[in-house]
Every structure is written in C-alpha cells, then in structure tokens.
Amino acid sequence: MMDRLVDRVLRLEHETPFLDRAVLALGAFSITLSLAGTVLLYT
C-alpha cells in the first residue's frame, strides 16, 4: 500500500516536478504567513 503510494508520488514528481514544487512552496508559504500573522496578533 505505502510502496504504491510512494511510487505514484515519485512518478508524479517525475511528470510535473515544477508544478509540484510550486504547489508545495505555496502551501509552505501560506502556512508560514498565517503562523506569522497569528504570532503578531497575540504579541
């Protein structure tokens, strides 16, 4: 089960590496932004 999932993720990464990285970067960026906003709000 896990091997199949990893294989699918690797294949997807091979097919659209730029898109995947862009989405991951965007997600990490938004999470960081919301965390920073929360910290600023409560200090």
What does the pLDDT look like over 1-43, one tens digit per residue? 678 877 877 776 666 677 777 888 899 999 999 999 999 888 7
Residue type at 37 in one-letter notation = G
Q: 1 vs 4, 6, 7, 10, CA distance in Å?
A: 5, 9, 10, 14
Around 35, how many Cα atoms within 13 Å sit in the side-chain half-sphere?
A: 6
- 29-37 contacts at long range (C-beta below 8 A, 24 or more positions apart): none
Answer positive or negative: Cα dihedral of 32, 35, 37, 43: negative
Whole-model pTM?
0.48
Contact (CB, 8 A) for 12 and 20: yes
